[in-house]
Amino acid sequence: MTLLRPAILSFVLVTGAFAAGDYDALLGAMKKSWPQCATIAVVCDANSSKAALATLTGAASGMKVMVVDVRGPQDMGKAIGTLTGRKPDAVILLAGDHVAGDGSSAASFLIQRMAALKVPTGATTEAGVKQGAALGIGPGTGGKLMSNAKVAAVAGVAVPPGATAL
């Protein structure tokens, strides 16, 4: 497992500004609900998720984005170790990532471990919130703000006002 290489990160930063739609609402809700959130992390197969990373990075203006590159579920333990050492303010699930995307066992593992470390997770799908993301809004929620209050409490973050509880 390696962190995303600088050349790929440069590509993500340059192209990300052009397509931020899927993550704008999520990051906006996170900034309002969790104003201390300055560094977000993403665990994914960076090569297979270039487009989603570009979209997320474009929406994350003013925030640092840390990408932990994994090739399969076998890398999740190392990813958790990296995140534990770097302690991001939140983790974002990439819905379509084949390793740690919404609905995967790797995402469940990630959500649980991060909540125990008081690091909340955000998602763009209802499935991600049902799985344990503390908040979700985006294309996969029909634009509705959703929250998993139980996990938000474990992670030590506020449930956004007006969020639908799952």
Listed residue (34, 60, 40) closest to 159, CA to CA: 34
Q: 134 by DSSP, 3-state: which?
A: coil
According to DSSP, residue 4 is labeled P
Q: How far apart are CA 61 and CA 102, in angstroms?
A: 24
**Residues 71, 1 contacting (CB under 8 angstroms):** yes
User: Token digits for 38?
Assistant: 């300055």
Q: Please give the domain boundaries of the chain with CATH numbers for all domains.
A: 2-156 (3.40.50.2300)
pLDDT for 16: 38
What are the CB-based long-range contacts (under 8 Å, 24+) for 147-156? 151/111, 151/115, 151/120, 151/121, 152/120, 154/115, 154/116, 155/114, 155/115, 155/118, 155/119, 155/120, 155/121, 156/118, 156/120
**Residues 122, 152 contacting (CB under 8 angstroms):** no
pTM to 2 decimals?
Answer: 0.86
pLDDT per 10-residue tile (average), the chain, 166 residues: 44 40 92 94 97 94 96 96 96 96 94 96 96 95 95 92 92
For residue 135, give the amino acid letter: L
pLDDT for 8: 42
Q: How far apart are CA 130 and CA 73, in angstroms?
A: 20
At what angle are helices 50-59 and 21-33 packed, to 10 degrees?
Answer: 50
Q: How far apart are CA 19 and CA 162, in angstroms?
A: 27
pLDDT for 132: 95
